[in-house]
Structure 1
Amino acid sequence: MPTPAHADAPDASAGPDPTLARERAHLAASRAALRAMREDAESLDIGDVAANRVAAAALGRRIEKRVEELADREDTPLFFGRLDYEPPADPSETGDFAGERFHVGRRHVHDTSGDPMVVDWRAPVSLPFYRASRRDPLGVALRRRFGHTGGDLTAYEDEHLTDPDRGPEGGRLLQREIERPRVGPMRDIVATIQPEQDRIVRAGLGGTVCVQGGPGTGKTAVGLHRLAYLLYAHRERLARTGTLVVGPNRSFLHYIEQVLPALGELSVRQATVEDLVSHVTIRGTDTPAAAMIKGDARMAAVVRRALFAHVARATEPVVVVRGSRRLRIPAEEVDGLVTELSERGLRYDAGRAALPRRIAHAVLVRMEEAGEAPDDRVQDAVARDRAVKAAVRAVWPAVDPARLVLRLLSDADFLATHARGVLDAHEQRAIVWPRRPRSTRAAPWSPADAVLIDEAMDLVERTPSLGHVVLDEAQDLSPMQYRAVGRRCSTGSATVLGDLAQGTTPWATPSWSQALVHLGKADGVVEELTAGFRVPGDVIAYASRLIPHIAPDLTPVASARVNPGFFEVRATDPASGLTHTVAACREMLAREGSVGLIAADAAVPELAEALAAAGVGHLRPGEPTTPGARLALVPASLAKGLEYDHVVLAEPAAVVEGEPDERTGLRRLYVCLTRAVSGLIVTHARPLPARLDPTDRSGDRPATMGV
């Protein structure tokens, strides 16, 4: 066995643990060194360094950011582990880190001499903390993990990786950290990253990685830690190109927003897909059928056809007057220039901007043939000539993307012309509005319409690309939404996170290979995480009964937790269903940690009233919990991506029936069942869905029934 963890309160008769005392002293010294680093940054005088006021302001902002990054989190120790590298076999030889000792933490800390007191978890020297094993120790003799309460070290546990007599690796501290109650927003997993997760985290910037992971496998945390790693390894490049985290909704983004700052990364933007395409005010909604069609990748071809149909043939020559001369470019020659630009695949506005100079070049050729020697200034003047501008307006007019999409959705003949051979007549009728709005402002835009406008905008003018985008809960995106996100990383890379079994939209992706094609990253690598670190074994086994019916090709999650958790299914009668659900919430609130009451969306108002009548306060999903307010009332549609220490799931059958079809409903139910970290109580007055009935033996194991 590993060296036993030294407890929070050692036996007083044995005296204080000298090893723990030394580690605490090192922590105190490290904190003092970090304060000194911050004071040095605060005291920097840039008065004589910056060349001008603009440069001084930019440098000042960088220093302010550096000072903020050096803040010490008093509730968390600066380091969570230690690596002791083996000494060299031959004293005359030294390896890269042979004989060295490093404390591993969330950020780098050095003393006044520049020697490291804490090394960043992302540094190459820290890699063995996550990857070393007895089979392959990677040069490490001892790996030490620390336990803590608040900001103080309270325990440690050693793994001797090169000593065959010291037992197998693994231990209680790692498991305790994995199973620590979740109170408040999502926290980082930097101290507990597993080898299979670390390989994804440290994947290079050049490639796109898609992570398929069931509930509790840590895919969201892996994606965020990968971004933190990339910002460390490629800081200058990503500082120029930018980074982005895309989540499914505001509650989810609020829940994860503290992870990257805790790792020292403060400048990463977070947004939903709706935020990215917020070019118009959303006033309407689509039927499921219309949303499916508008989200189909075929709509990209329809929008492109409609846009470039504005490029027309020239009907008149271009005549430019230069002094006493009239220089004439025939209409057929103008057509040739337009065709050449069109075939180059340029963005609409890029072609429109290039056409005046092409016409001007043709005019200069006429001038040279007449013996003149025009220069670039003459070409620029000709390109601005009134006749040239008029010709360009006639054959390549400006197009407003929102007006273009408005016409497609409100003019059946215009849509039919450009959707011929792409959408059938039934599909066209499903997406055309019954009346044409007076303006784009008055249009009943839906979320899917905004994505079409974004597509048109990109065809008109290229969308700026970021260096890296993390896309979470990606299984629920439509092909057109994937295209919208892909435009934001067309010259960069992406980390795509999701679970096909949790796809709950009508357009949920059937496979990651298709999703990556729509994203523009067909060469992306798909990785699968199957070890569950969040959901207790009994809970995930119960939820996994649904896998053969919602995602038969996926490997069910296998819980890696030692603590089996608390799980009960409680049947009640309809008259007392609300009372039993509220009682279950009270029972869960008596335990440590956060509590989520999840129910079908339609049942939320009634449950809110019942909680209020019973004097049980509740929060909205994603809202920070406090010691006095730990219960969140969560509509099933918003449960995805969230986690709570304890969950009460009310009326599973209603959750299933709240979706348009049974398969989507069962997927939604799978999501709701797997939000619990420590305990789950399922309450039901109606019969359970057949797949979850304890008498149904199609699952992996029977359910644990409560009284």
Structure 2
Amino acid sequence: MTSPRPHDLHHALRLERAHHDTCRAALAAMVEGAQEHVVTGEDVSASGADAEVLGYRLRSRAKEMRELPEGPLFFGRLDSAVDGRRLYIGRLRISEQPAAPPLVVDWRAPVSRAFYQAGARDPQGVAVRRRFGWAPGSKGDSADLTGLEDEHLMEGEDRASGIVLREIERPRLGPMRDIAATIQPEQDDLVRGELRMSLCVQGAPGTGKTAVGLHRAAYLLYTHPQRIRRGGMLILGPNRTFLTYISQVLPALGETGVRQSTLQEEIALHPVQGRDEERAAAVKHDVRMAEVLRRALYARVSADGVEALAIPDGTYRWRVPADELVRIVAGVRAEEPPYGIGRERVRARVVACVRAQAERREGPVPHSWVRRIERARAVGAFLDAVWPRVRPEEVVTELLTEPAVLERFAQGVLTADERKTLLWARPPRSWRSARWSAADLVLLDEVAGLIEHPEGYGHVVVDEAQDLSPMECRAIARRAAFGSLTVLGDLAQGTTPWAARTWAAQLTHLGRPEAAVIPLTTGFRVPEAVVGLANRLLERLDVDVPAARSLRRDGELRIRDAGGDLPGAVVAAVRDALAREGSVGVIAADADLPRVREALDAAGLRLAGPDDLGARLTLVPATLVKGLEYDHVVAVEPAAIAEAEERGLHRLYVVLTRAVSGLEVVHARELPF
């Protein structure tokens, strides 16, 4: 890796800044042109439907162009060893004219891959790879281009980039940044995986698994725009705080039409107003509940006691024999369609039977006649008797309020103790007055999925997937039945009572048992000292994952014994952290938060909550810190964090790996590691 001599560097920077000015002018023209296309498109003569589609696409494109975040327009350059051609690599394609050679090539384009994959052993036709250094927080002013590095691949140069290292280690305030400029070869392989391929990334802390998943989403939107946009893209995170943290990554990469949500928001037929005891929640999240719910729903289908059906048609009555009706119901039931489709399939076959009689007697019948028979009161009454309409709420409420019903459908699936645990202590008068818990919503979604398949997505990215229950996995699988999945997680960070122990089981519940599991073990954000401490705790966790390693030799780890004054020690640790550059996160067990807050407030230290991503000092409960990062972390009383829940050691592992520069552990009790 070489940097030009001072005189040559000044000259090179002047030329590159001039090119950036040209790119900025071209981008402004592209934005203006996109808006002009909207105006022109509205005047295009076409059918109403065509005009509407065209207008929507043009307006969407113009909106995307207007909403592009400010920032440098390129971060790299490739000089070809074949023809000397230069390609600038950035977050989106920029050209002066649509047919003209691009001034900047999108990082996702096939030709850009060499920027991430080429090396001294395999130059891939690249003579020189240039990386650009921009001032931190640059809005894209050309004067902010402050440095560059050249890597002469054909000459065998192969050293770590100082620009990449400084970008990775740069103090972080605010939302998560994209990593388009610093993607490593092993990350790039995952980002550019095929659309039809579902994959699972087992990522140790600081390995960039979340960033890989988001950049894969951006890559798929770029490579398969029509297929993805037709089905939609869904990013699922564990909570709203996490989604706020990652919310700016895709817009920075030029992608704004992506739904970012939590699973609870996706399945929320009702607001969460109830709360389950831990044992009841565990049973509701168990995959065995799927069989109990299926039995309870389809038990409503029965042709027992069916009599011949007479359907009035003017002065005539069409008759369908009882044995034919039984055969129709049994045939549809054997096909195992969604419940709602099965009901309509029975209707269609009964009407087809009547239609055959009519055509034998009178010849072809009009469509209006068929519709009238379909809506006949006798047909509706028959359907209500053999395949009645039902709401998910009715099925779940009946199970959770009536012991005899639950015993009938859970016999041989759940134990007597588990059945007793499930029953509501204070049953509502009806499902309309029920106070649904978060686990109840999962049951409702399971039944709703049995009645009618939900609308699916073309691709779903699932982060923190190790924390999903089997029933939650099934809810996601239904929404990706005809699409693909990117599953992100770390088994060591599983903190829910039903957290996955193996990816094989979790991927089976997600409907993708064939998905490849790719481990990321090299950390780029968490320093070596912090990773070493976390690895000591990893040995005590009941999961089989490879230990992490870090490329960063910097960073600090301190252990502060508070003696008898834990609040005072926390205040001192926070003051020390604030003396350094970057964000500071104070993480404590949820129950300890009030006294920690009181101590910091009394010391005059201004605190923010976890949702204030631009704050310098943040107080975060241990249960909400997953996925977040801070330059400096003060971890308060690890023993209390470890004892607060069933998988408290896993929670502590998460807490200890949130620091990207320095970690100080403050304790008055014996340390769990």
Regarding TM over 0.5, the answer is yes
Tell me how large the CA RMSD over aligned residues is.
1.8
Secondary structure of 1:116's counterpart equals coil
Query: Equivalent of 1:577, from 541, 559, 566?
Result: 566
Secondary structure of 2:413's counterpart equals coil
Where in structure 1 are there 5+ consecutive unaligned residues? 88-97, 693-707
TM-aligned CA distance change 1:23 to 1:141, over 3 Å: same
Secondary structure of 2:103's counterpart equals strand
Distance 2:116 2:542 in 1: 31
Kindly indicate whether residue 519 of structure 2 is the aligned counterpart of residue 528 of structure 1: yes
Where in structure 2 are there 5+ consecutive unaligned residues? none
Confirm or deny: 8 A CA contact 2:501 2:542 kept in the other structure.
Answer: no
Distance 2:243 2:451 in 1: 31
Confirm or deny: 8 A CA contact 1:479 1:518 kept in the other structure.
Answer: yes
Secondary structure of 1:642's counterpart equals coil
Q: Deviations over 1:491-511 (max 9, x none)?
A: 000100000000011100111
Distance 2:45 2:487 in 1: 41
Distance 1:573 1:620 in 2: 28
State the match for 1:37 in structure 2.
30
Query: Equivalent of 2:658, from 667, 675, 678?
Result: 675
Query: Equivalent of 2:589, from 600, 605, 610?
Result: 600
Query: Equivalent of 1:81, from 76, 80, 86?
Result: 76
Give 1:586 deviation, angstroms. Answer: 1.7
Kindly indicate whether residue 293 of structure 2 is the aligned counterpart of residue 310 of structure 1: no
TM-aligned CA distance change 1:320 to 1:71, over 3 Å: closer
TM-aligned CA distance change 1:441 to 1:5, over 3 Å: farther
How do 1:10-21 residues align onto structure 2 when only pairs under 5 Å count? 14=7, 17-21=10-14
Distance 1:517 1:552 in 2: 18
Q: Deviations over 1:130-185 (max 9, x none)?
A: 11111111111111111111232110011111113xx4232211111111111111
Query: Equivalent of 1:121, from 86, 95, 107?
Result: 107
Confirm or deny: 8 A CA contact 2:521 2:549 kept in the other structure.
Answer: yes
State the match for 1:655 in structure 2.
641
Kindly indicate whether residue 670 of structure 2 is the aligned counterpart of residue 687 of structure 1: yes
Kindly indicate whether residue 286 of structure 2 is the aligned counterpart of residue 287 of structure 1: no
State the match for 1:696 in structure 2.
none
TM-aligned CA distance change 1:408 to 1:108, over 3 Å: same
Distance 2:45 2:253 in 1: 30
Distance 1:374 1:47 in 2: 45
Give 1:444 deviation, angstroms. Answer: 2.7
Give 1:70 deviation, angstroms. Answer: 2.8
State the match for 1:319 in structure 2.
310
State the match for 1:427 in structure 2.
418
Query: Equivalent of 2:154, from 145, 162, 167?
Result: 162
State the match for 2:60 in structure 1.
65
Confirm or deny: 8 A CA contact 1:403 1:440 kept in the other structure.
Answer: yes
State the match for 1:239 in structure 2.
229
Kindly indicate whether residue 499 of structure 2 is the aligned counterpart of residue 513 of structure 1: no
Secondary structure of 2:206's counterpart equals coil
Q: Deviations over 1:396-425 (max 9, x none)?
A: 110011111111111111111111221121
Distance 1:323 1:154 in 2: 88
Distance 2:67 2:88 in 1: 16
TM-aligned CA distance change 1:246 to 1:538, over 3 Å: same
Secondary structure of 1:293's counterpart equals helix
Q: Deviations over 1:443-497 (max 9, x none)?
A: 1311111010001011111111110000000100100000111111110001000
Confirm or deny: 8 A CA contact 1:651 1:686 kept in the other structure.
Answer: yes
Give 1:52 deviation, angstroms. Answer: 6.4
Q: Deviations over 1:323-382 (max 9, x none)?
A: 443222122211110111111111111111122221111122333444644354433322
Query: Equivalent of 1:171, from 161, 180, 184?
Result: 161
Query: Equivalent of 1:131, from 96, 117, 123?
Result: 117
The amino acid that maps onto 1:590 is A
The count of corresponding residues between Structure 1 and Structure 2 is 663
The amino acid that maps onto 1:645 is D
Give 1:47 deviation, angstroms. Answer: 3.5
Query: Equivalent of 1:299, from 275, 289, 297?
Result: 289
State the match for 1:492 in structure 2.
483
Q: TM-score, normalised by structure 1?
A: 0.91
Q: Give % identity.
A: 50
TM-aligned CA distance change 1:373 to 1:120, over 3 Å: closer
TM-aligned CA distance change 1:52 to 1:352, over 3 Å: same
Query: Equivalent of 1:616, from 605, 609, 618?
Result: 605
Distance 2:582 2:629 in 1: 11
Q: Deviations over 1:683-703 (max 9, x none)?
A: 1111111xx2xxxxxxxxxxx
Query: Equivalent of 1:99, from 61, 79, 84?
Result: 84
Give 1:60 deviation, angstroms. Answer: 4.3
Kindly indicate whether residue 576 of structure 2 is the aligned counterpart of residue 587 of structure 1: yes
Range that drifts further, 216-225 or 613-622: 613-622
TM-aligned CA distance change 1:326 to 1:15, over 3 Å: closer
Kindly indicate whether residue 372 of structure 2 is the aligned counterpart of residue 381 of structure 1: yes
Kindly indicate whether residue 239 of structure 2 is the aligned counterpart of residue 259 of structure 1: no
TM-aligned CA distance change 1:68 to 1:369, over 3 Å: closer
Q: Deviations over 1:538-592 (max 9, x none)?
A: 0110111011211452111110124x20111110122x21111112112211211
Secondary structure of 1:316's counterpart equals coil
How do 1:374-453 residues align onto structure 2 when only pairs under 5 Å count? 374-453=365-444
Confirm or deny: 8 A CA contact 2:74 2:90 kept in the other structure.
Answer: yes
TM-aligned CA distance change 1:69 to 1:370, over 3 Å: closer
State the match for 1:95 in structure 2.
none
Distance 2:51 2:359 in 1: 51
The amino acid that maps onto 1:19 is A
Q: Deviations over 1:640-671 (max 9, x none)?
A: 100001111111111011113xxx11111000
Distance 1:220 1:606 in 2: 33
Confirm or deny: 8 A CA contact 2:41 2:58 kept in the other structure.
Answer: no
TM-aligned CA distance change 1:365 to 1:53, over 3 Å: closer
The amino acid that maps onto 1:43 is E
Q: TM-score, normalised by structure 2?
A: 0.95
Distance 1:181 1:63 in 2: 39
The amino acid that maps onto 1:350 is I
State the match for 2:649 in structure 1.
666
How do 1:141-160 residues align onto structure 2 when only pairs under 5 Å count? 141-149=127-135, 150=138, 151=140, 152-160=144-152
TM-aligned CA distance change 1:50 to 1:543, over 3 Å: farther
The amino acid that maps onto 1:312 is S
Give 1:4 deviation, angstroms. Answer: 3.0
Distance 1:652 1:233 in 2: 46
State the match for 2:324 in structure 1.
333
Give 1:99 deviation, angstroms. Answer: 3.2
Range that drifts further, 262-271 or 281-290: 281-290
Kindly indicate whether residue 355 of structure 2 is the aligned counterpart of residue 364 of structure 1: yes
